[in-house]
Structure 1
C-alpha cells in the first residue's frame, strides 16, 4: 500500500492537497470518488458548526485530510456512500485510507469529553489523542485485536454462516481477543465456544497467514489456518447459525471476496491443498 504514508505528527496541519468528507458515517464521493480537491470541500464545510479536520498522511506524496460534517449537504455530481460499498470496488490502499478516515472521525466524536471525569478534552500537541486538561487522561483511537480462523481437517475446511451477517455468506470463524489472552488462546476458545471443536496448539497445527485492518468499526484481524484435533461440531445458534465441512473442490460460491482476510484464508487453503 505504497500510495499512502500515514502521518507521523498530526499537528500542525500542512496545506492539504486531498480531502475526504465524512458525515454520519458515510463518505462524500464525486468524480474522483472519495478523494476531493479543495473546491467541493469548501462548499460542503460552509457553516459547518462543530466540524473538524484531521491530517491522515500523504496520498501519492500529497497531504490528505478528513473533514467531519455534523450534517450532510447535497452537492451537484456527488453522492454519500457507506464504507462497505468501497470494499472490492477501489484499490486496497484507497479502501484502507477511507477506513482510516472514518475511524479517526468516530474517535474524535466519541471522546470530546473525558470518560473519567466528564470534562472537555483537547487535542494532543503532536499525537493523535484527545487529552483531558483536568485529570490528564489521554484517549487514542481504539483498535480491537481479533482472531479470524479457518478450521481445517485434511482436504476439508469448516465454513459458517453467522447469525447477524447481512449476507448469507459462508465464511471463517472470528472473535475478539480477551484481556490476558494471546491470539492462539483466543482462537482455541472461540472455536470451542462457537462450534464445539478443539484445535491443536503449536506451529504444526496453527498456520499464521496475515493481518488486516477491518474498519467496522475498528478491528485488527489476525488470520490463521487451524487444524482441528477433537470435539463435536455443534454451532452455538447465537453467533453461528450453521457450520459445515466443505471439501476443497466443493467450496460454495457465496464466500467473502478476495479483498477480505476471510476470503484470503479460504483461497489460501484451497491453493495449498
Structure 2
C-alpha cells in the first residue's frame, strides 16, 4: 500500500513551503528520494505523483516539495497564487530549501516514520531543479549519496541575453510568460543583482570538479527548453558522471499537465527505470 503524508517546512528567509511524502511500510526499504521541480514548476505538476508511486513500488520513499519562492501557496494547488515570492526566487534560496528538506529527513523523519530508510538519501532535479541540486551537492555538507538530473541545463541563466538584462535593469522588473496559465510571471531586479553578486557561486563550471558523489545525467533529444548542447556541457565538465539519452524525448519526457493518463508515458517509463537502476547500483 502506498501511503502519503503532508508537511509544512520553513526554508529560505524563514518562508514556509509545502512538502509531501509517499512511502510504504514494506520491510524492504531502499532509501528516500528528494525531488526538486523546475522553473515555473511545482510538486503536483503532471505525472510527478505517478512517478512518486513508481519509486515507492520499487522500495523507495519519495519526497517532493514546492520551493519556498516558487509562487505556490501552502495548499495543494496547481495555480501560482504568490507571484511576489516567485519574483524574488534565486538559486541560493532553492539551495537553502533543499537544506531544510535534508535536515527534516535526517533529524525529524526517523522519530515518527522509523520504517523509512533515511540513512540512504538520493536527489533528483528536473530542469532548473537539477542546477539547484548540483550546486547544493557541491557546496553544502550533505548526506546525499547520489544525484540525478532530468533535462537540466548547464547554465540556467544562459538565455538571459544583454537585451533582456538591459530592459530588466531599466524597468526594474522582467516578465516570463507561463504558457500553461498565460500568467506573466515577474522577476524583480533583486534577482538580477543576486545573479551578478553570486556569479561564481552559481557556476556549475566552477563547481563541477567538487562533486564527490555519483551523478547520472538524463536528457531527451527533442527537448525544446534544454538543448543537447547543455547536456554535452554537463557531460564535459562532470567527467565522472554517467549519462543516458532518451531518443525523441521532450523536456518533460512525454508527460503533460493536467495528467489524465493511468500509466506513465513511454519516455517517462524509461526515465524512471534508468534512474531507479542508477540509485540501486
Q: Which has the higher strand share?
A: 1
Q: Which has the higher helix share?
A: 2
State the TM-score, normalized to the length of structure 1: 0.24
State the TM-score, normalized to the length of structure 2: 0.24
Larger radius of gyration: 1
